[in-house]
Structure 1
Amino acid sequence: MTPRLVFDIGVVALDAHYDAFSTVDPNNPLDDPDRSGDPLPDSPNLALNLGLSYHWLHDQGVKTGVSANYRYRSRVYFSPYHDEAVMQEGHGVLDIGMDIRGQKERWSLSLFVNNLTDELYARSIVRVDPIVGTTRFWGEPRHFGASLEYRF
């Protein structure tokens, strides 16, 4: 057996703010229209991705692997108005998986669980008062699956 451990890391640090920008918030038209210094929409200060995988080869030519991936995003606003109603707090999502591949990779079996901890988070939030109010588009809840592949 030949084991192999791989660790991946990705880090993004942003300081994305308006230098000078004015626009009237249609949901709060009496608010100050100056958005200077406010964060840009959907721009986290920190995004982090951590991955860990372990693979090994069996004597019969079968390859096995397990993996885990964690991704984190700090707080974001989904509009230019720095509105708490369209803000998503920082959150992290953990995915895990395993796979088995036959000799010469003619066949493979993969299993996965995404969002293992069933983290509830918004991918987007739209506020349109008074027509529809605030609508949240949620990230996928915990889900799992498998794939079986054969090449000939």
Structure 2
Amino acid sequence: MIKGFKEFIVRGNVIDLAVAVVIGAAFTAVVNAIVASVVNPIIALFWKPDEDGTIGFTVQGLWGPVTFPIQDLINAVIAFLAVAIVVYFVFVAPMNHFKERAAAKQGVPEEPEALPSEAELLVQIRDLLQKPQS
């Protein structure tokens, strides 16, 4: 059991994943800071914050005004897209390129010949049946 775990850890995928998680978490903090200091003021240009500082759509409810905090949704979407773009271009794309180059160096075996289709097999069987028996 320990041997299998050791092979799993050494295989490389786990280490790549761990690095991506750590870098992603650190980058998420940077993106959240940028969103809070740049995007929130831009959003505030278009929507007036309510008394609590929440930006969003205010609707009159049965017991008073209700604000739908669109700012939090916009922040989350921008942060997700920024992190996803960086993780793709910093980790996924280079790793795919590296794997393609490694496969080309090793000489990937070519695919075997395609098997005949069902129709071709039936034609061959028909031809064999039509041959005169000697």
TM range (shorter): under 0.3
TM-score (norm 2): 0.23
Select the structure that is richer in helix. Answer: 2
